[in-house]
């Protein structure tokens, strides 16, 4: 897995990248009450707003970590946004995407670097 400074995680899954937020981010947000997911087939550009997440504490935008296209979204989160608090780095992923330039992944931290970053 790779991690961004915005507390997103990225996991390679075949030709796709799965994107979600970290446990740390979920803890900081508090109880998640709403998730707005992007449309499948949407072309996205790195740093473009792609997901809106609302909690009892705040609303946050999740930015596209890479250039590419949305191939799948986790519809479960629409009905059960609280899953983000239960399993942020597992079943509560936000979307899957194809990547236009895989070398963009090199810009992100590995798990050890991310753990040092959040301390």
Contact 46, 30 (CB under 8 A): no
In the predicted structure, residue 33 carries a pLDDT above the cut 90: yes
Q: Is residue 107 a part of any domain in this protein? A: no
pLDDT value of position 117: 97
Q: Is residue 84 a part of any domain in this protein? A: yes
Q: For residue 54, give both structure tokens.
A: 């609302």
Q: Is residue 79 a part of any domain in this protein? A: yes
Query: pLDDT tens across 67-97, in order?
Result: 999 999 999 999 999 999 999 999 999 999 9
pTM above 0.85, yes or no: yes
Residue 94: give the domain boundaries.
2-101
Q: CB under 8 Å to 16, separation ≥6 — which residues?
A: 71, 72, 96, 97, 98
Q: Is residue 22 a part of any domain in this protein? A: yes
Query: What mean pLDDT comes out for the span 4-16?
Result: 95
Strand partners, 63: 49
């Amino acid at each position: 897995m790779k991690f961004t400074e915005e507390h997103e995680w990225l996991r390679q899954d075949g030709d796709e990248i799965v994107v979600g937020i970290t446990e740390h981010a979920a803890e900081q947000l508090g109880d998640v009450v709403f998730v707005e997911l992007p449309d499948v087939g949407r072309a996205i550009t790195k740093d473009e707003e792609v997901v809106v997440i609302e909690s009892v504490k705040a609303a946050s935008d999740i930015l596209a970590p890479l250039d590419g296209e949305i191939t799948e979204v986790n519809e479960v989160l629409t009905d059960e946004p609280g899953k983000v608090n239960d399993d942020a780095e597992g079943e509560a992923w936000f979307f899957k995407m194809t990547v236009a330039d895989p070398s963009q992944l090199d810009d992100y931290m590995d798990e050890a670097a991310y753990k040092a970053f959040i301390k």
